[in-house]
Every structure is written in C-alpha cells, then in structure tokens.
Amino acid sequence: MISQNAIETLRKTEIGAQGLFIDGVQVEATSGASLPVTSPIDGRPFASIADGNAADIDRAVKSARKAFEKGSWSRATPAFRKKVLTKFAELVEKHADELAVLGVRDNGTEIGMAYKAEPLSAAGTIRYYAEAIDKVYGEIAPTAENVLGLIHKEPLGVVGVIVPWNFPLMIGAWKIAPALAAGNCVVVKPPEIASLALLRLAELASEAGLPAGVLNVVTGRGAVTGEALGLHMDVDAIAFTGSGPVGRRLLEYSARSNLKRVFLELGGKSPNIVFADAPDLKQAAVVSANGIFRNSGQVCVAGSRLLVQSAVYDRFMDELLQATMRLKVGDPLDLANDVGAVSSAEQLDKNLGFVARATEEGARLVTGGQRMLTETGGSYMAPTIFENVTQDMQLAREEVFGPVLGVMRFETEEEAVRLANSTVYGLASAVWTANLSTAHRMVRAINAGVVHVNTYGGADITVPLGGVKQSGFGRDKSLHALEKYLELKAAWIAL
Ligand code: NAD
C-alpha cells in the first residue's frame, strides 16, 4: 500500500501541459488548443491537456491502421505480445504510486480505493490478458472427410476505446488489454476531466516495447473527439463505458458511418436487497454503506436502491445510519479518509439537484443532502440517505452517480423481485439472506449482469462485468471479453 509520505511528495509534482500520444510520442493538438485540468480536491487548476479535434483523431486512427497493416504487433507471435504486455503490467505496478496520486488529483477518488482499483487492478488486468494470449485456439469444424473446415480467430483491426472518469485506468485496462492481446491497434479517448493517468499509461506501454501506433491516446472534449472516433470510417469497433445518452449516440454514429461494432457498458440503478434472515445485519449495513458511498457513489455498480424487508427495517436502518456516519469524507489524498471528492463541481450540482427533487417528491431525508468542506474550494458531498422512496420518484428511476441512496421497504420475496426489476437498468444487484434457496431463486429472478449474495461488489477479473436492458451489452473482464476483440474467419478446404 502507498504511504502518506509518498503521497505528500507526489501531490506536489508539477504536471504541466500534456500533449496527445500518437505514433509512440507526445504531440501537440493540431489546433494548438488546450483545456485546463482542475482538481476536485481544491478546485484549482494543476495541469492542462491538449484539446484534440477530428483531425487529431484522424491522425491517431491512421497511425493505428498503419501499425496494424505493418503487422509488427497484429501478426507478431503470441509469445512476443505476451512478453511485451507482461512487461507493461510490471511497469504499471512499479509506477503504481505515481499513477494513483495522479489519478486522484484528477478525479478525487479516495486514495485507499484508487490505489487498488486503478493502477493495481489495471496491472492485474494487463497481466491476465497477457497470459491468455497463447491459450486461445481456433477450431476445426466437424465436416465430411473430403473437406477441412477451419475457424480462425483474427484481430478486428483498429479499436476505439472511450472511458468515463470514475475509474479511467481500471475501466480503460478492461478494454485496452484484451484488445491489444488479441492483436488489435487502439485509439483511446479518455474522459476530459480525468485524462492524465491514461496518458501516462500509454507512455509506460511504449517503454515496455509496444510498437509505435499500436496504442494512441487523444484527449479532448467528448462531443468533439468522442464523436469523431465514433464516426470514423476506419475504426472497426468502439468499446465504450459511460452514460446511456452517449451510448445511444455511439450506436447512431455507427449507423451513420461504417457499421462499426459497438460494445456498451452503461449506467445502473442497482437494487441491494436485505431479507430479514440476512446472516449478519451489522455487516450487511457496513458493506451496503460502502457499496453506495465509496468514491462518492461514482461507481457504475453502486447499490443505489436499498430494499429492506419490513421485519428488520428499523434495526437495519439504525445500523446503516451508524455505518454511514462513521465514513470520513475529506481530502482524497489523506489515507485516513474513507470518501474523497465528487469528481467535479458540475457533478456535485447535479447530485444536489437530485436531492432537491427527492425532497419535493416526498422522500424523507435521513442524513446528508448537503455540500461539505466548502472552505477547501473542492467538491465534497455528505453521504445521503432518503427513505420512503416510491417507484414513481426520480430517485428510484434515474441514476444519480453520486452518494445518494434511496430506501424502500418490502414484505415478500415476490414484492422484492418486482421492485428490483422495476427499472430500465440491469447492471448489478445484491441479496442478503441466510437461506440458500432464497439466494438461488433471487439469482435467477433478478434481471442484472451480476447478483451478489451476502456481499456487495468485489468481483475480480475472472468473471464478466456488464449489463442487460439499458445498462448496455457486451462484457468486460474474463476470457469472454477477449472474444469481443477477435473476428471469426472460416476456411473451407476441399481435400
Ligand atoms: P459520459 O457518457 O458523459 O462520458 C463517457 C465518455 O464519453 C467520456 O470519455 C466522454 O468524453 C465521452 N463522450 C461524451 N460525449 C460524447 C459523444 N458525443 N460522443 C462520443 N463520446 C462522448 O459518462 P461519464 O459522466 O464520464 O461517466 C458516468 C457514466 O458512466 C454513468 O452513467 C455510469 O453509470 C457509467 N459507467 C458505467 C460503467 C459500467 O461498467 N457499466 C462503469 C463506470 C461508469
């Protein structure tokens, strides 16, 4: 784990003006324009990123295509790709302190969580796909004797990766690592408010021996660079994590351009269901509080709808309130704090808008609901709980992506299932019960990409992550994600 001393040194590091990373080097944006990078820790600018545009995306895609055609990565032996990616993972681990602090200055995630979830998790993901490269086989089809049917697995070509700001390294690695392992070349569009760690990641990939052009990073505004990537005629696929509205746009861009395939990991309104026979109510309350409030609720799988069975409602709410009050909100670079800053002043305003509407609609505020630590100049929000939430309220239907929990009661298992599934989303969920049969029935009944039982979150790289319904389609993580970046080609050979 990183030490407070190391953090204090790194928090003062000069970052300066960052360029784009194209063809293995840092270059200026074509327009020469830049965007300031403001830290949510204190509201002050501490760096700038290049404000890329469609011409820069085109440069990056051309570089990626040239590298792909050249074949020094796409047609390299699996052993070579494995060696380079393994070295890449080692370098990410070696620079974990630097990457973690850089990322926290950019997006405000508490360092204890960011350190594990960002560089360490990204390194683990890169290593996982490095190790998988030489274990993916083609197939021989069961044909008649006079023919040979072969099924080859080939890289797609140029893959565009578009990432949100909550965990840019972790989520970026979930896409970049399998895409590279499969032999593709990649153009990354980082989130405008948290680009720095991904730029550094690309430099480390280059240092590890990734050939020029195989991994490019173009910073800039989503509506400009993201759109240009989505519309580019020479991009074969887009792997996206972010909001529903932008996901819809990417499908349109694909339809309007070259029908590139699009993988969407979108938002959620995940139900966390506590049955009266939960094995340990206190533990369930602590994990549930963490499951919505860590990283200020800016977690796609956050358990933002809590459903509690009436028989234990009062007891559970007491435990939940206590667990919530124990969470220390403050400077995300102080290891003593449990919850850091909201990623931007705009996001904080948006969260407070949800609080105001929930109050207007008749939900009861149990705790929180306000800004905190305004004297710092940063963006901090108190963990917020509303009860008496009903299905028709905005808080039950829309994703806040902030530290705001809506609580409902239920009586029966059928009612819990109905409430859990009354949403357009289907990303994550959890069930707390000591009854194995209830647990298994709920796993089958809940429409979501993952159902946690007697825990919340915490899945590792071995299991897929992704949603159903309007939470998107396509999966990150596990060997299933590797298949997304491979195309099948059949050979039919007369013997
Ligand atoms: P966002 O959709 O606003 O932005 C995501 C990315 O898309 C950013 O890089 C942004 O610059 C880019 N973008 C913006 N406009 C674009 C356009 N017109 N064309 C192409 N790209 C564009 O999302 P956000 O605010 O960064 O992240 C929060 C959202 O991400 C939440 O909805 C959250 O649930 C979701 N999320 C989902 C997962 C998951 O795995 N399912 C994980 C994390 C976050």
Residue nearest to atom 38 of ligand 1 (CA): 300
DSSP 33-50: -EEEEE-TTTS-EEEEEE
Query: What radius of gyration do the chain's Cα atoms show?
Result: 23
Give me the active site residues, please: 265, 300
C-alpha of residue 83 to centroid of ligand 1, in Å: 32
Identity (one letter) of the amino acid at 53?
Answer: N
C-alpha of residue 9 to centroid of ligand 1, in Å: 31
Q: Which residues line ligand 1 (CB under 6 A)?
A: 162-166, 171, 189, 191-192, 222-223, 226-227, 230, 241-243, 246, 249, 265-268, 300, 399, 401, 427, 465, 467
Identity (one letter) of the amino acid at 409?
Answer: R
Give the largest CA-CA distance in the chain. Answer: 79
C-alpha of residue 181 to centroid of ligand 1, in Å: 24
- Integer angstrom CA distances of residue 456 from 38, 158, 301, 474: 32, 36, 9, 22
Contact criterion met (CB below 8 Å) for 234 and 61:
yes
Instruction: Give, for ligand 1, the residue of 106, 125, 166 to mutate: max count of ligand atoms closer than 8 Å to Cβ.
Output: 166
pLDDT in tens, the chain (495 residues): 999 999 999 999 999 999 999 999 999 999 999 999 999 999 999 999 999 999 999 999 999 999 999 999 999 999 999 999 999 999 999 999 999 999 999 999 999 999 999 999 999 999 999 999 999 999 999 999 999 999 999 999 999 999 999 999 999 999 999 999 999 999 999 999 999 999 999 999 999 999 999 999 999 999 999 999 999 999 999 999 999 999 999 999 999 999 999 999 999 999 999 999 999 999 999 999 999 999 999 999 999 999 999 999 999 999 999 999 999 999 999 999 999 999 999 999 999 999 999 999 999 999 999 999 999 999 999 999 999 999 999 999 999 999 999 999 999 999 999 999 999 999 999 999 999 999 999 999 999 999 999 999 878 999 999 999 999 999 999 999 999 999 999 999 999
C-alpha of residue 118 to centroid of ligand 1, in Å: 17
Buried b (16+ CB within 10 A) or exposed e, 143-152: eeeeeeeeee
Instruction: Give, for ligand 1, the residue of 35, 125, 162 to mutate: max count of ligand atoms closer than 8 Å to Cβ.
Output: 162
Residue carrying the six token digits 């979830």: 117
